[in-house]
Amino acid sequence: MNETLRVWRVRKDHTWIDARMRDDAASGVVELLFFYDDSLVFARRCRTRDEALADARSYLQNLQRAGWNTHW
């Protein structure tokens, strides 16, 4: 079973966006998943866990520039 780990959450105007990562060591697939109010809006496959975390950081910085605030 693949466990999904929340990387970060941002909030704005009573809505939230989560970045979550699912790492399947057996297949070598790392997925970066983005949820808007608990609905999956897009996912992207990465080659490594470090690549997924770097992409998540980049998305977070862009959202923060647009006025979203981090929230756990």
Rg (CA), the chain: 12
In this predicted model, what pLDDT tens digit does every residue of 26-65 receive, in sequence order?
A: 778 899 999 999 999 999 999 999 999 999 999 999 999 9
Residue 39 inside a domain? The answer is: yes
Residue 71 inside a domain? The answer is: no
Residue 32 inside a domain? The answer is: yes
Q: pLDDT at position 32, please?
A: 97
**Sign of CA pseudo-dihedral 62, 63, 67, 68:** negative
Q: Which domain holds residue 49?
A: 4-65
Residue 72 inside a domain? The answer is: no
Q: How confident is the model at residue 2 (pLDDT cuts 50, 70, 90)?
A: low
Residue 21 inside a domain? The answer is: yes
Residue 60 inside a domain? The answer is: yes
Residue 25 inside a domain? The answer is: yes
